[in-house]
């Protein structure tokens, strides 16, 4: 296109909350740029850099624009992305490029109305912002006969940002997840089942900048190889947001069998859950994870009533994050769909908890009673032996 400065696909990347981080802003910005570079590393010729207060990504023209937007939008800390044209800061060049740009938008999105919003950072530019907006608006109306101006509710807002060295032309913003760049908020260990909830819980903590490792409990041979494949697939889905991710897998079957042998059947789930937490705590301490993360949700099932959560929580000293605690199942499912884990989560492979599901699990357990049952077991050696079965793999983003 005539007048266009860079023969590249260029994008403006905006970050929301990061901008508020005061003196720590450079640290967060560096982390964000590093993450964007990382997810785009698979392509050649990508440039990520700050220019005059804007974060810009430039990619060779032969790379798909939508693929790059998709990749960048998975980086936590990014609030929105817009493809931009860079042209010389000259009103005729800006007008011509704007008309071409809008023709393209009409073709892509079939818009009927528009509005121009102009901003002038270079105060030496001969026109004021309202004058730029008017002039470009007139040029677009003349060049694109199907368009009308609608200042209140336009189908497309055309942004013109005039700076000294060049002018940026762009339109709608593609929203991303926001949050904070990965690695700026410590590391947590998620108890990752094959269900719908725990991947969403991991996602929400990672979105706040937390690096994620995971532990999965299986009851092999009662649980199958396919159930394990499913967990790896879920970790693969998550790793597109969270970066490469470790899964520690631990066999919990001997513990389940000991409990079944020695304790009341209706306490099985809670006792198993306490062991899961304790084993996870041990792994967290040895992997520098600061907290545990679960997909627990108030009242969803018998093991997640308020009374049951008290019993589970009491098992460990490490903080336990339950980011889904107040969500409804439908909200969790929406989120799982949005992040792309839902379809994998609903595959019907058995989980270690469902293998020995009691018919009437306790819903209002008493802590003293559970502790009494637990004291019938040799907890320490059960935990030691379970940890000996631990196998660790690392899942890399696709």
8 A C-beta contact, residue 213 and residue 313: no
8 A C-beta contact, residue 98 and residue 160: yes
Q: Which does 308 bind (CB under 5 to 8 A by kind): ligand ATP, Mg ion, none?
A: none
Residue 351: name the closest of 190, 188, 189, 198 by CA: 198
Listing DSSP states for 197-210 in one string gives: HHHHHHHHHHHTT-
Residue 28: name the closest of 185, 236, 234 by CA: 185
Q: Which stretch binds ligand ATP (CB under 6 A): 14-22, 50-58, 152-160, 192-200?
A: 192-200
For residues 247 and 391, what is the distance between their CA atoms, to the nearest angstrom?
Answer: 8
Q: In this complex, which beta carbon is closest to Mg ion, that of residue 147 or of residue 231?
A: 231
For residues 243 and 38, what is the distance between their CA atoms, to the nearest angstrom?
Answer: 9
Q: Which residues contact 367 (CB under 8 A, 6 or more apart)?
A: 310, 311, 314
| 249 scored as a contact of ligand ATP (CB under 6 A) | no
The two structure tokens encoding residue 40: 């785009």
Candidates 8, 207, 216, 230: give the one binding ligand ATP (CB under 6 A): 216
Candidates 239, 303, 305, 344: give the one binding ligand ATP (CB under 6 A): 303
| 189 scored as a contact of ligand ATP (CB under 6 A) | no
For residues 6 and 49, what is the distance between their CA atoms, to the nearest angstrom?
Answer: 15
Least distance (Å) between residue 381 CB and ligand ATP: 21
The two structure tokens encoding residue 377: 């077991």
| 198 scored as a contact of ligand ATP (CB under 6 A) | yes
Candidates 73, 80, 129, 300: give the one binding ligand ATP (CB under 6 A): 300
| 195 scored as a contact of ligand ATP (CB under 6 A) | yes
Q: Which stretch binds ligand ATP (CB under 6 A): 14-22, 82-90, 290-298, 333-341?
A: 290-298
Least distance (Å) between residue 354 CB and Mg ion: 8
Least distance (Å) between residue 217 CB and ligand ATP: 4
8 A C-beta contact, residue 169 and residue 158: yes
For residues 163 and 166, what is the distance between their CA atoms, to the nearest angstrom?
Answer: 5
Q: In this complex, which beta carbon is closest to ligand ATP, that of residue 85 or of residue 200?
A: 200
First and final C-alpha spacing in the chain: 34
Q: In this complex, which beta carbon is closest to Mg ion, that of residue 82 or of residue 193?
A: 193
Q: In this complex, which beta carbon is closest to ligand ATP, that of residue 300 or of residue 373?
A: 300
Q: Which does 87 bind (CB under 5 to 8 A by kind): Mg ion, ligand ATP, none?
A: none
**What is the SS3 assignment for 169-224?**
EECCCEECCCCCCCCCCCEEEEECCCCCHHHHHHHHHHHCCCEEEEEEEECCCCCC
Candidates 217, 228, 241, 275: give the one binding ligand ATP (CB under 6 A): 217
8 A C-beta contact, residue 356 and residue 239: no
List residues near Mg ion by CB under 5 A: 193, 195
Least distance (Å) between residue 259 CB and Mg ion: 18
Q: Show the site string, 337-376: x = touches ligand ATP by CB under 6 A, - = not.
A: --------------xxx-----------------------
Q: In this complex, which beta carbon is closest to ligand ATP, that of residue 96 or of residue 198?
A: 198
Q: Which stretch binds ligand ATP (CB under 6 A): 105-113, 187-195, 258-266, 283-291?
A: 187-195
Name the residues that contact ligand ATP, by CB under 6 A: 191-193, 195-198, 215-217, 276, 294-296, 300-301, 303-304, 351-353
């Amino acid at each position: 296109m005539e007048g266009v400065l860079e023969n590249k696909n260029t994008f403006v990347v905006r970050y929301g909350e990061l901008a508020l981080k005061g003196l720590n802003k450079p640290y967060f910005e560096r982390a964000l740029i590093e993450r964007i570079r990382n997810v785009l590393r698979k392509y050649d010729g990508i440039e990520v850099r700050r220019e005059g207060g804007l974060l810009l990504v430039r990619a060779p023209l032969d790379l798909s624009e939508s693929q790059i937007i998709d990749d960048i939008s998975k980086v936590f800390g990014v609030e929105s992305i817009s493809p931009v044209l860079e042209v010389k800061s000259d009103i005729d060049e800006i007008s011509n490029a704007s008309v071409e740009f809008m023709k393209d938008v009409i073709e892509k999105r079939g818009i009927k109305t528009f509005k121009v919003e102009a901003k002038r950072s270079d105060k030496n530019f001969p026109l004021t912002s309202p004058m730029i907006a008017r002039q470009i608006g007139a040029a677009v109306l003349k060049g694109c006969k199907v368009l009308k101006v609608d200042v209140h509710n336009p189908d497309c807002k055309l942004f013109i940002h005039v700076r000294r060295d060049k002018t940026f032309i762009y339109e709608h913003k593609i929203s991303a997840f926001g949050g904070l760049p990965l690695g700026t908020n410590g590391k947590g260990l998620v108890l990752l089942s094959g269900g719908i909830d725990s991947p969403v819980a991991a996602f929400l903590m990672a979105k706040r900048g937390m690096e994620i490792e995971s532990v999965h409990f299986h009851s092999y041979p009662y649980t199958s190889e396919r159930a394990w494949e499913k967990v790896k697939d879920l970790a693969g889905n998550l790793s597109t947001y969270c970066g490469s991710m470790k899964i520690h897998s631990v066999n919990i079957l001997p513990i389940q069998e000991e409990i079944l042998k020695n304790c009341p059947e209706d306490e099985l789930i809670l006792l198993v859950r306490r062991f899961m937490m304790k084993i996870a705590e041990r792994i967290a301490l040895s992997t520098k994870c600061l907290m545990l993360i679960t997909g627990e949700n108030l009242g969803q099932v018998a093991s997640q009533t308020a009374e049951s959560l008290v019993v589970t929580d009491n098992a460990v000293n490490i903080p336990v994050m339950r980011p889904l605690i107040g969500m409804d199942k439908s909200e969790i499912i929406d989120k799982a769909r949005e992040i792309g884990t839902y379809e994998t989560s609903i595959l019907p492979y058995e989980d270690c908890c469902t293998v020995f599901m009691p018919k009437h699990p306790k819903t209002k357990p008493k802590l003293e009673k559970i502790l009494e049952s637990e004291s019938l077991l040799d907890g320490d050696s059960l935990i030691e032996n379970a940890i000996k079965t631990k196998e660790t793999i690392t899942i890399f983003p696709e």
